[in-house]
Every structure is written in structure tokens, then in C-alpha cells.
Structure 1
Amino acid sequence: VVNTDDGPRALTLEDYLNGNFQYKTFFPYWVSDNEYLHQSAEDDIILYNVEINYATTIMTNSTMKQVNASNYVMSSDQYFIALESNYSKLWRYSYTASYHIYDLINGGFVTENQLPHKIQYISWSPVGHKLVYVYQNNIYLKQSPREPPIKITSDGKQNEIFNGIPDWVYEEEMLATKYALWWSPSGRYLAYVQFNDSDIPVIEYSYFGEDQYPRKITIPYPKAGAKNPTVKVFVVDTIYSEAFGPKEVPVPAIIASSDHYFTWLTWVTDTRICVQWLKRIQNFSVLAICDFKEHSNTWDCPQNQQHIEESQTGWAGGFFVSAPYFTSDSSSYYKIFSDKNGYKHIHYINGSVENAIQVTSGEWEAIYIFRVTNDAIFYSSNEFEGYPGRRNIYKISIGSKPMRKQCITCNLRKERCQYYTARFSERSKYYALICYGPGIPISTLFENRGDRELRVLEDNWELQSALQQISLPKEEINKLEVDGITLWYKMLLPPQFDRSKKYPLLIQVYGGPCSQNVKETFSISWITYLASKEGIIVALVDGRGTAYRGDKILHAVYRRLGVYEVEDQISAVKKFIEMGFIDEKRIAIWGWSYGGYVTSLALGSGSGVFKCGMAVAPVSSWEYYASIYTERFMGLPIKSDNLEHYK
């Protein structure tokens, strides 16, 4: 793009497609309470000691290049490092890869008992250097990288039995991970889930790749109301794995009596495990705390250690049911769930859910618990100044009476940063704060004591100076009131915006249950280009069904998808027209996936506000979509349940 004058130029489509203005984040890979790993600009692996402010190169890029490594994972005792290569993506989170193990103490790659290629998941034990991996749907254990593998399971079968990794539907709609195995705190025990898809009908499609003929892809795919995978949870003693074999953790009777899901697993101690289950109608969840009985060599989940979480107005949890964060007494825990007013908040459970103590409260939501220490809880919420699209990091001191709450990030870089996540060192002595916006992202390192900033890890200075040459749209976040409903929106206004002129409007929609589009995050995307170069106003609207504003809004769409989400987009556009600067003859809507579904329904609604729309990969009928997602919000497509709203 030739810039004829010296002033800033518009952002072009090429700029966006070439990724010319991408920001960097810095996530420390913590390996102890005061050390983290990261890769230098030259791709050397550096071990940085925060305590003494000292960096050591533990592996040069030339060693990485020997095996074409693109990633790495170090054993917890820092004796070995597994180098990942031949990355081959499968689904959203899953991939296969090859791993070469390098001996950091003696130097050189481990040549004895090398690992097979196309490993589905690999994990070091939390203590020492035991190794577990999943290959061809079976779990293998190595007591040490040089030793031969011990086969933990042998019934794994492609598309039928999955051990230690999820099948497609669990990966996509329940766990959001590529793994389904967890080490106990000392690394003695290993818990894993087995998914049985052998009775699930399959979908098939042709994949047109490099070969002369297309390849047929087959996936077991449970649709709404159809047969679901069955699940079992097992624990194996890695010291005596062959002698004892895996032991199944029983499913609570109240859950086992009908179709159900496994939702998450949390180790509490080496002999105590917490497993979460969910009924197929996803408004009833059970958290079971189970203990290992040495004399009978079994796991026991007594009824008085089964905690029920139930929703009367919709589904349990947000998108997923939240995980518990256990305290050092190994029986009480903190967990986020809806309070009596329907807002998701942190509760302290000691003995029973009925007597839970509410820790946070208000007309906002606690979003994620990062860490529970002996004297504090670190969590994120959207409380600050009442903007649902913010994420600030808070610290509650639990030793003090009353509990003292402090916002670590709210006023740290107030204009630049209102959307954060955090990464804590092993015992929480240090943490990194990663800010995503609304200004240019920045990552910083903090000391827990006194919440003192130690250094900037990444400030995106080059991006900042490059953007001086670009005239970016102005972003505005605000709310509309429509018939007693609050709709939050983000509007991108062209650089030389003039309220007295008329502009075309594009609505970018997603609108799925428990989603959020109006966030205070920075991005240079396709819509940035449309506003900057083409002079189009782009707006994103969060209506009913979206997250983090209480269950009244979240559950408004329960059992009736495709109604209120569409109405709210149309209502918002009518309000935008009233603002006086929208050209009514040039209003469009577009979305992808759920957004494509809402786009299609908005165009077919007969409202007349949209002149055109683009629906990418829309849902065409809920009966054809995955069981876990669809039924969470719609129930079952049977006459006795909710068939009428599926049609």
C-alpha cells in the first residue's frame, strides 16, 4: 500500500491476512516456585530464576533442530526434557506428535527404549521423572525414560475404546482438553477415564488432501437424543501397576441409575480423589469425594461426601460445571456456582453444600479461581465498574476476619488493561499477569508478597510503534435498554467518524449460550479492517443467553434456542438506527457456527432491518448436532421432553 502523505494510513485487508499487527503474550512455564522456562528469540530454552534474577541456557536451538522440535516439556526434577516434533492436528485440542527425550544431566538423547511416533498425549509425573503416554488409545507407563514401557491398558481401539484421552464429543463439548488422565500429587497413582464409543453411530466425510484419492474420515458422533459414550474412571498404582491393575472409582448411585457424563477429576491427596458427574439432563451434578481403602484395595465414595449442584432455571454450571479448589485440610474446598440471586459466586464448602458459606456476592460474577493458598484466594471477576466484559484479578485474604478483598489489577494500568489472566508459580510465591486489553497487551511478573511488580515480560513495544502509522477505528463499549433487558455492545467507528453522516453497519454475531463477544480485549481483525479502510461501522451485541450477567439472562434461552438471541440482535439494530448515523439501506449481519445460525434466523425473521447476511457453517437443525452441547440447552428431542422446540 503506497502511503502518499506522511499521516497514518488505513489498515488494509493484506495487513490483516498477513498478520502484520499481531501482539505477543508471555506465559511463564513455571517449573518450581521461583523458576520458569521460556524460549529466547533465538529459540534456545532458558531457565530463569526469579529469586536471583539469573538466566541459564539449558538447551540451545541446535539441539532442538536435531529433531526438528517445535515444543518441549521438562520432567519435574529437571533431569530430562521431552522434545516434541511431527505435530499433526486432529480436533480442536488433540494432536499426535513424536517425542525425543534429552538427558539434561549427562547430555545427549536417550536412545534406549525410544518412544513410538504418533503419540496422542504425554505427561511427566509431578515428582521425579516417571512418564506416561497414550499411544493408539492405550496408556503406557515408564518408570524412567530409559526403561521399557509398562502397558497399563490393552483394550484401546480406534474410534471405539479411548483410554486416557477423550473421544471427539468429550473433547469438544465437555473437557476442552486433549487428555483424560491425571497424576496424584506424589506421582504414585494415575487416574484415567475410559470412553466407550463402540455403540455410537458414526458420521463419515471425504478428506481431499495431498493424495490422488480422498481419504474417508469416520467419527463416532452422538447426536441429540442418540446413544452416548459410556465412561469409567480408573486409578492405577504406578509402583505396583502389574500386580494390582487399575481399580474403578464407583459412580454415585443417584448418577449411575440413568445416562450420565463424567465432567472432571481433581486429586486431593494421594489417597483422596474428587470426581464430578452430571446427569444426561444437565441440570443435576454430583461432586463425589472418594477415598482409597487399603485393606480392600478399593475406592469408596460415601454418600455423605457426595455434593449435589442443581439448577432450577437451566443447566448446571456455566459452559462447564466448575472445578473445586481444595484447602490444605484436604476436605473443605472453594467452588464457583450460582447463588440464590442467580449470580455465579465463590462458595466455601466444608461438609455440606447446604451449609456453604458465600465468599463473594453482588450483581456481577466470579469467573475463575486461579489459586487457593493457606491465606488467600486469587480469582477473576467482572465486578469492576460494572462492565461484564472485563476480567480483573482479585485477592481475598482468608486468614483475616472479616475477609479482606483487594483488586490487584483494577487500577494497575487502568486505561490500557481491564482484561487479565494469571499464571502462578508452584507454591504461589510469584505470578505473571497477562493483560489482553483494551489497549495493547502487556505481560508482567509479580511477587505475591505485597503484590509488587518485578518486571515487564512483554510490552509489545514494536507493535505499539508500528500502529502509530495506522489509523485504527475507535472502539466504544456501552449498553442499551430494551424492554427491561440490558444489551451490551461494542461498536467500531471509522477513524474520521462524523455523527452527522450516515454509515453502513455490519453486525458480527455469535450469540451462543454462555458466550461473550463484548469484551475489553485488543485485536486487529477483519472487522478492524472493515472499519478502518472501508468506513463501515461494525457492532457486536451480547443479548439474552450470553454469559457472566447472571442466570436470568443466561437461562433465558433454555429449551428455546434461536428465539431471544435473534430478537435481541434485531432490537439492538433498531436502537443503533435511532442514534442517527446508520444508513438503513446498508445494514448486514454475519456470523460463524452459532453466529451463522443466528444470522440465518435473523435474515428469515421478516424484520426487514438486514439487507444481506453471511452465515458460515450454521447449525441447520439441532437434531443433527452433538448430544452434549445440544441437550445442555435444549433437553431431549422426544415428545415427552422438548421435541416441539427442536422443530
Structure 2
Amino acid sequence: MIMGRSDDLENAEFFPMTRRRSTSGASFRSSTDSGLSVDTAYLENNEHNNFANGTSGVTDETKYRDVEDGEADVDEPFLPTSSRKPAREVARGRYSGRRTSPQTASETLQQEESGSGSTSAGRPVTLQQVLTGSWNPRSHAISWIAGPDGEDGLLVQRAEVGKQGYLRVDDIRSQEGDDVDSQSSRILMNKAVVQANGETLMPTFTWPSPDLNKVLLMSSHEKNWRYSFTGKYWIFDVATQTAQPLDPSVPDGRVQLALWSPSSDAVVFVRDNNMYLRKLSSESVVSITKDGGEDLFYGVPDWVYEEEVITDKSVTWWSNDGKYVAFLRTNESAVPEFPVQYFVSRPSGKRPPPGLENYPEVRQIKYPKAGSPNPVVNLLFYDVEKDEVFPVNVPDDFPDDDRIIIEVLWASEGKVIVRATNRESDAVKIFLIDTKARTGKLVRFEDIANLDGGWVEPSHYTKFIPADPSNGRPDDGYIDTVIHDGYDHLAYFTPLDNPNPTMLTTGEWEVVEAPSAVDLRRGIVYFVATKESPTQRHVYRVQLDGSNLQPLTDTSKPGFYDVSFSDGAGYALLSYNGPSVPWQAIINTQGDEITFEKTIEENSRLASMVETFALPTEVYQNVTIDGFTLQLVERRPPHFNPAKKYPVVFQLYNGPTSQRVDRKFTIDFQSYIASNLGYIVVTLDARGTGYSGRKVRCAVRGNLGYYEAYDQITTAKMWAKKPYVDETRMAIWGWSYGGFMTLKVLEQDAGETFQYGMAVAPVTDWRFYDSVYTERYMHTPEHNPSGYENSSITNVSALSEATRFLLIHGASDDNVHIQNTLTFVDKLDLSNVQNYDMHFYPDSDHNIYFHNAHFMIYERLSNWLVNAFNGEWHQIANPVPEDSIWDSVKRSVPVLTH
């Protein structure tokens, strides 16, 4: 995935090409429903937010990874901060905050000022503050867990000060001293340090078993790709407070994945790409597969599936009754390798062989570029009782070389729903498999190519709805997101093989990563949607029959909310992310009225900073181009004077389905540019971006870069005519997909509107990027050769018309390979184009973080931009002085004669 929006550290612009990720302060859940993870190392080491002290909040977990679009900052665990009731209005059926903005918003049909700006005589935002996370809101994650006896509202957390134990299960209602059964609270681990097998363990992650009698521990953590890691795993007994190796016969084996059975009596795990089963009734381990290895994966994804399809470390799913395990078999033997070189470090941790100490370390990555062979993926099943692995052949399946399995969902009675697409992601098939009968059938087919010419994104939010005749549900069903009248909406399919759903939502707006939760007892579906505006997110609920849709949050004012529900959907962590200072509260959603609430974060320190610093004013507007309504935000410097002339920086990302213009509270590099440097910063979500309907989103298919660049240039021309804009000082910049778009804009504009550009880690030829992402939006090179040619940055002579541009790339980028920049520079050389600067960062990946690079790159971007707007690179007609310095010397020095 290339690119999205980084909310890590400073909302920067480096992103993997990817679909949007959740922004939730959601629970630390494991990769499947069968387990729950608590990052205990983070719990132990981050009781006090580092950002409060102006230090970096980046951990080893995050600083060397590609950050996806819209992904949230590293959340703190839930440590209760206050027992007092917040000043809030609780209205019937919705949650209404009384917090006020620092600046009153004024709204018109086309323009709206945000409340994040300040006109007080405060200090400007500094780059150091932005890069160290001083402006990042504090947020907490709640690890909700289902009670062994069906209790709702339980959470796993490290014990707060004054409570016993290290790892606890607590009832959220007891936090306020409500009259509840205290037996629901219990201690899982007394101490953070565990002695086992002669070792002293400080677990990085913990996963309690569903019955809460055991805890799966992981130590010796080592990061792999974006989501995957390995470690040594242990089974901790709550009753005896002792631990033993997950596999006593191989105690030091590095495990890639381990998942509890729903019945708590077994753990399935992956080691060296093979799958194993450990039953707690014995210390022996059963080998489920034996031929896994370098090119064959069982239960864990390869690089491209982890990055672009599953966005997780697991492709293993326990059945709800614990009788079966579904898992993917991934064969990447035909996938070509790409070498990533490390010139300073040795990420493998291995010493080089004698005589090779002075050579770089090379990591060979199986990386399918557009048009090259994809990994072949098949779905297999394991019968736990029979100790048997078996496939289920289904009719009308995609061929091996044209199949992407994007979702597996267990229903009841051994039935499973499987969603697959073709290689170009414009044909979707939903299969229903019966593992008991070992049969399957096609139950839905969606021809997206003929529907609107677009594509589908991988999604993993489909929700199984079990039958309950007493509550009006005679058959099993599921809730899925479908295309309805050009927008993404929720549909309820029942029974499982019924292709004709009940629509739960409709209208010219979209649901986002939905549903969030389902209250099965009351038949209520909760979801987040853009009903008020593409730039906003509110929480809603609707009955399973599609009636009585109501907002849960206050929709009378702009808001960007996220929500994380308890297992039974009776409680929720509600996160208000903007436009004012973010806050978090726990609410009771069991009735028509919110009857219980607890504020767990108010960000009072951040609120004080807002009052004392001179922040930009954000003006939200719509622009219409070729009949498309597009979202835009203009960040104006503090004390903006319309009588002055301001330089303008366009900041963009614009990857397919992404979003840059939203109502979240954000103080980032763009805020620094406006507040400290005094420039105007404009961000436009052009055609191709998300949350405005499929007409806007799918317009770019097959021709990435053309319409997006046209929209940016057209908007820039509008801004150049504004009386407060200096049209001779206009720049554009972006990272990753935004870097590609920066070059594409400069190519299409040919110096007419933008004089300057800064492109970081850009794609310059889509044939160089990974197949799954690229072909989703571009088709295959075989089917669309002209599209690939047009989308490449080829007209380098047009870039020579700009005053100057800057190229930056990490030398060890495993996502957008440095091949993109080097081959592009070769084109510049061949055409004698010299109006650019270039910088490489050794051993940095797509984030550009290695050895202080993160600070260096933003200082370089800032300084380069200042120099550009100061006219440093304007060409001088005659750079040679009229009087040569040597002529002056000759005239001033007497000639000696002999």
C-alpha cells in the first residue's frame, strides 16, 4: 500500500499505497475474534505520555514502518484519569458534547472556518514540536473482552495505581463505583515479570484465553513487516501464576502467530511457515502442515498479502465452536525477488561471512510488480478432532492466477463465508462453504467493472448475525457493505445464501469500515458514516430491518468521531477527534438514553497549548470541477491580512480512496508552514479520493495521475487569482503517492502555475509498484499498456519549465523502491534537465527514519521551501560580474619590473 495519511508523530505525508485504515482508539484485539492482545510492554513503559514532555512517542514498534492513510497515533492503554462527570449534555438517543472551539465557526454554503485557528498574540508552532509529537492528542485504547459467562463491559488492562495485580480484567461499570457484581473483576497476572524455563520474561504482548484461565505471553519480540512479528511464546496459568513454553519440545523456537481456540483448550500457531496445534491437555504438539518453507506459507501472509490484502499478520481463522481452523496456503515460488540493500546497518542481526564485512547487507523480498506472477493462494481447513487437513472445491471459482481471497468469516454449524476477487479487483464472488459436508457454492457475484467501471477495496468488517427466532431472526445471516446507488452502504443478507439483502442504509453518503458493532439482543446495528459531510464522521444506529436510523453523536455541529464497542455492544469508547481538542468517554448504549458515562481523556494540556500558540485558521470549502464537487481546506497564517500577498503551498496525497480533507484536530507539518513560515497551505481531495461516492472515486481508474493533476492545477489557478495570493510563489509537495502526484502536476503544468515542487519517495512508473495495489486501479499492464505509459512521469522536458524541484528517497525503501527515483533521474540526465535537487537517506525505508533522518528530512523540506520562496533559484540573466575579480586585482596591484 502506498500512501495514506500519517498521524504518527506529526500527520506527515509518507504513506504506503493503501486503503484507509481505522482511526479508532479501538481495542488491542488480536487478528481474529478468538483472541485479544494487550501490549504489556507499552503498558509498562508509557504510563505517562511522552508527548507531554515534548519527547518522541515513537517506539521501536512504529518508527520503522510505513504508516497508512488515516492510521491513528499509537494509543495509550486505558488508565482511568478521572472519576468526575464531564460537563456534557446527554440527549435522548444521542451524545452531545458541550466543548467549545477556540474560535467560533462561521458557515456558508461553500466555505466554513474551522475552530482550530487562534488570533491571539501567541507563539508560532515550531518544527521541533511537530516532529516530537507535542501537538499529538493523547488517546487510549480499550481492550474489550467477552466475559466467560456472557458478561458485557469487561476490559483487560494493567492495574491502575492503588489496585492489586499487574494484568486485570475489570468491569467498566465499577470504575464509577456503580452497584455491580465485583466478581466480574479478577487478576490475571500478579507481576509484570515472569520466571519460566530458567528465563526471566517481560512479555511484550499478552492474550488472555476466552475463559480467562490462561494467558498467552510473547517475549523476545522482533518486527518483520508492517503488521507481522516473531517472538517466543509461553502459556501462563492464572491459578498457579506460572508459565511454560508454548512448545516444550522447541522452547526457543520463534513463533510467527499464535491464536487461542474459542473453547480455550488449544492454541494453533505458526513457526517457520508451518502450522501446529498445542492442546492444553498435553504438552505434545501436533504438526498440521509439514512442507512450509521459504516459498510456501501456512496461516500467515506473504509480503504482498500482508501489505495490500489482509492488512494483518494472520490468515488463520478458528470456527466459532473450535472444531475447525481455516487458513490460507500461500505459494510464492513464482514471485520474482527484489533486492533491498542496507549500507550502514544489518537488519538481519547476523554477522557477515568472513571477507564480506565491507559489503552491504541485501534482503531479497518476494515482491510482485504490476504484471508479474502473484502468489497463488488457496483456502484449507483443519478438522481438530480428526487431525485432518482438507480443501473444499467450489464451482465458479477464480483460476489460481486470477484469485485474491480477501475475507473469511465463520458462521454457525461449520459454515463459512469466503469473499474473493479477480486479480484486477473488479469482480467479486462470495462463496458459502459447508465444512461438515465439504461442499461449497457461489451465493453472490458482483460485476463491478460493468456496474460503474470501478473496483472494490479489500475489507474485513463483514459481521455474522446468528439466528434467533425469539428475536425475529429465523435464519443465520450477515451484514456486508455493498454498492447502492453509487455509495457504500450496509446490507443485511439472510439466510446466508440469499443474494437479495435488506438495505440498512441508503442515501448520498457512505458508511465507513462498518458495521462497528451489533447488539444482537435488541437488533441494533451501530456504524460510522459521512451522512453530514464527507469531511465528518458521526456514529449512528439502525434496526436490523432498516428502520429507525438515529445519530448517536451530536450532528448539529461538525465532528469527527470514532467508536469502539464492547463485545455485547452495551458499552462503547467514544472518541471525539475534532475539529476542537479531542476527548474520549465511555458511554452506555443499552437504552434510548445514555445512562452512564466516564471521561477518560480531556487533553487539557493540549487545550492549554491551543490557547497560547498562534495557530493557523482552517477554511473548509468545496470546489466544483467538471461537475465533480471536491473538498478543500485552506490553512491561513495567524493574523491573516487579506491585503497582503502570501506564498501558497499545495500539499497533497490523493491516492485512490484516501482522504486528506477532514475535520480532525491536526497540528502537523502543514500547520507549522502556516504558523511559523507564514505561508498559506491548501489541500484538495481531487478526483479519486474517498468518501464522496463512487463517481468521484472511480473517475481515475486506468489513468492514475491525469485527472488528479488536472484538478490540482485548476484549483491552483483559482487561488493564483485571489487578491491575497502571490502567484509568483506557488509550490506543491507530497510524499509517496503524493510524491508521484507532485511530479505529475509539475509535468502537466509545465511551469505555468507552480514554480516549485518537493517529491518524497515518489512512484514514477506504475510498472515498478506492487501488483495487487496497482492493478486494482490500473488493470494489468497487458490489458492497459497505454494507461501505464500515460501515468508514468515521462515528459521530463515539461518539468524543466518549473523553476526548481526537490527529489528525496530512502535508499532502503521496501515499499516504493528507489528504482522509481533512479530511473526517473536517468530520464532527467538524458534530457539534460538540471533544475532539481536530490537527497537520499541511507538505510531508510518508506518512512525515512534511520539515523536521525526523520528530523533531517523535515528540516530540509522547510529550508528548501524558504529558499525557494526567497528567490534563491531564480535564474540570473548574466551571472558573471561585469568586472572580473581578477581584472580588479590586476588594477590594484602594481606591476613590478626588473
- Do the structures match in fold with TM over 0.5? yes
Name the CA distance, whole Å, in 2 between partners of 1:536 and 1:146.
67
Secondary structure of residue in 1 paired with 2:631: strand
| Residues 398-445 of structure 1 deviation map (CA, whole Å, 9 limit, x = unaligned) | 36xx7100110134xx65x72222222222222222222222222221
Once the 2 structures are TM-superposed, how far is the Cα of residue 635 of structure 1 from its aligned partner?
1.0
**1:355 is matched with which residue?**
500
Secondary structure of residue in 2 paired with 1:585: strand
**1:333 is matched with which residue?**
478
**1:3 is matched with which residue?**
none
**2:64 is matched with which residue?**
none
1:598 paired residue among 726, 741, 764:
741
2:760 is aligned with 1:629: no
**1:644 is matched with which residue?**
786
1:381 paired residue among 526, 529, 546:
529
**2:538 is matched with which residue?**
392
| Residues 180-232 of structure 1 deviation map (CA, whole Å, 9 limit, x = unaligned) | 00111122211100110011111112123156543211111111111111111
Q: Is the 8 A contact 1:395 1:405 kept in 2?
A: yes
2:189 is aligned with 1:59: yes
Name the CA distance, whole Å, in 2 between partners of 1:257 and 1:216.
31
| Residues 317-374 of structure 1 deviation map (CA, whole Å, 9 limit, x = unaligned) | 2x325653232235432211111x3111112333666633322111111222112333
For 1:432-443, list aligned pairs within 5 A. 432-443=573-584
Distance 1:350 1:644, change over 3 A: same
**2:836 is matched with which residue?**
none
2:750 is aligned with 1:616: no
Structure 1 gaps, min length 5: 1-5
Distance 1:60 1:599, change over 3 A: farther
**1:240 is matched with which residue?**
386
Name the CA distance, whole Å, in 2 between partners of 1:322 and 1:310.
18
**2:863 is matched with which residue?**
none
1:310 paired residue among 419, 426, 448:
448
2:370 is aligned with 1:224: yes
Distance 1:112 1:427, change over 3 A: closer
| Residues 12-41 of structure 1 deviation map (CA, whole Å, 9 limit, x = unaligned) | 111122222322222211122221012357
Distance 1:627 1:392, change over 3 A: same
Q: How many aligned residue pairs are there?
A: 623
Once the 2 structures are TM-superposed, how far is the Cα of residue 88 of structure 1 from its aligned partner?
2.3
Name the CA distance, whole Å, in 2 between partners of 1:409 and 1:117.
48
For 1:65-80, list aligned pairs within 5 A. 66-80=200-214
Secondary structure of residue in 1 paired with 2:710: helix
Letter in 2 for 1:363: E
Structure 2 gaps, min length 5: 1-119, 147-151, 176-181, 352-356, 468-474, 790-898
Secondary structure of residue in 1 paired with 2:435: strand
Relative to total residues, which structure has the larger strand share, 1 or 2? Answer: 1
| Residues 538-575 of structure 1 deviation map (CA, whole Å, 9 limit, x = unaligned) | 22110111111111111100111110011111112122
Q: Is the 8 A contact 1:588 1:613 kept in 2?
A: yes
| Residues 71-121 of structure 1 deviation map (CA, whole Å, 9 limit, x = unaligned) | 322111111223333332222222222334322211122258445443222
Once the 2 structures are TM-superposed, how far is the Cα of residue 309 of structure 1 from its aligned partner?
5.2
Letter in 2 for 1:80: K
Q: Is the 8 A contact 1:287 1:307 kept in 2?
A: yes
Secondary structure of residue in 1 paired with 2:140: coil
| Residues 132-177 of structure 1 deviation map (CA, whole Å, 9 limit, x = unaligned) | 222111112111297232221111112x111111111111111111
Q: Is the 8 A contact 1:262 1:277 kept in 2?
A: yes
Q: Is the 8 A contact 2:621 2:631 kept in 1?
A: yes
Q: Is the 8 A contact 1:79 1:129 kept in 2?
A: no
Secondary structure of residue in 2 paired with 1:604: helix
Name the CA distance, whole Å, in 1 between partners of 2:281 and 2:563.
32
Of 474-483 and 539-548, the range deviating more from structure 2:
474-483
2:562 is aligned with 1:562: no
2:576 is aligned with 1:431: no
**2:666 is matched with which residue?**
523
1:23 paired residue among 124, 137, 141:
137
Letter in 1 for 2:661: V
Name the CA distance, whole Å, in 2 between partners of 1:153 and 1:258.
23
1:10 paired residue among 104, 114, 124:
124
Q: Is the 8 A contact 2:376 2:401 kept in 1?
A: no
TM-score (norm: length of structure 1) = 0.90
Letter in 2 for 1:642: N
Name the CA distance, whole Å, in 1 between partners of 2:206 and 2:460.
29
Name the CA distance, whole Å, in 1 between partners of 2:713 and 2:160.
48
**2:404 is matched with which residue?**
261
Once the 2 structures are TM-superposed, how far is the Cα of residue 257 of structure 1 from its aligned partner?
7.6
Distance 1:554 1:540, change over 3 A: same
Letter in 2 for 1:15: Q
| Residues 465-508 of structure 1 deviation map (CA, whole Å, 9 limit, x = unaligned) | 34433222222222112232212112222122222222221111
Q: Which has the larger radius of gyration?
A: 2
Letter in 2 for 1:36: L
For 1:463-542, list aligned pairs within 5 A. 463-542=606-685
Distance 1:112 1:346, change over 3 A: closer
**1:324 is matched with which residue?**
462
Of 116-125 and 188-197, the range deviating more from structure 2:
116-125
Name the CA distance, whole Å, in 1 between partners of 2:215 and 2:603.
29
Once the 2 structures are TM-superposed, how far is the Cα of residue 7 of structure 1 from its aligned partner?
5.7
Q: Is the 8 A contact 1:70 1:83 kept in 2?
A: yes
| Residues 32-73 of structure 1 deviation map (CA, whole Å, 9 limit, x = unaligned) | 222101235779434221244466554356427952333322
2:731 paired residue among 553, 569, 588:
588
For 1:173-252, list aligned pairs within 5 A. 173-208=308-343, 209-210=345-346, 212=357, 213-241=359-387, 245-252=388-395
The one of the two structures with greater contact order (alpha-carbon pairs below 8 A, sep at least 6) is 2
Distance 1:520 1:500, change over 3 A: same
2:289 paired residue among 133, 140, 153:
153
Q: Is the 8 A contact 2:444 2:499 kept in 1?
A: no
Name the CA distance, whole Å, in 2 between partners of 1:116 and 1:423.
36
**1:50 is matched with which residue?**
172
1:39 paired residue among 146, 149, 158:
158
Secondary structure of residue in 2 paired with 1:569: helix
**1:551 is matched with which residue?**
694
2:511 is aligned with 1:366: yes
- RMSD, aligned CA: 2.5
Name the CA distance, whole Å, in 1 between partners of 2:254 and 2:729.
51
Q: Is the 8 A contact 2:570 2:590 kept in 1?
A: yes
Secondary structure of residue in 2 paired with 1:646: helix
Q: Is the 8 A contact 2:634 2:683 kept in 1?
A: yes
Name the CA distance, whole Å, in 2 between partners of 1:302 and 1:309.
17
Letter in 1 for 2:189: M
Once the 2 structures are TM-superposed, how far is the Cα of residue 529 of structure 1 from its aligned partner?
1.5
Name the CA distance, whole Å, in 1 between partners of 2:447 and 2:259.
32
Name the CA distance, whole Å, in 1 between partners of 2:219 and 2:634.
42
For 1:273-288, list aligned pairs within 5 A. 273-288=416-431
Name the CA distance, whole Å, in 1 between partners of 2:375 and 2:774.
15
Q: Is the 8 A contact 1:80 1:129 kept in 2?
A: no
Name the CA distance, whole Å, in 1 between partners of 2:639 and 2:758.
27
Secondary structure of residue in 2 paired with 1:224: coil
Distance 1:277 1:252, change over 3 A: farther
Once the 2 structures are TM-superposed, how far is the Cα of residue 395 of structure 1 from its aligned partner?
0.3
Name the CA distance, whole Å, in 2 between partners of 1:58 and 1:108.
11
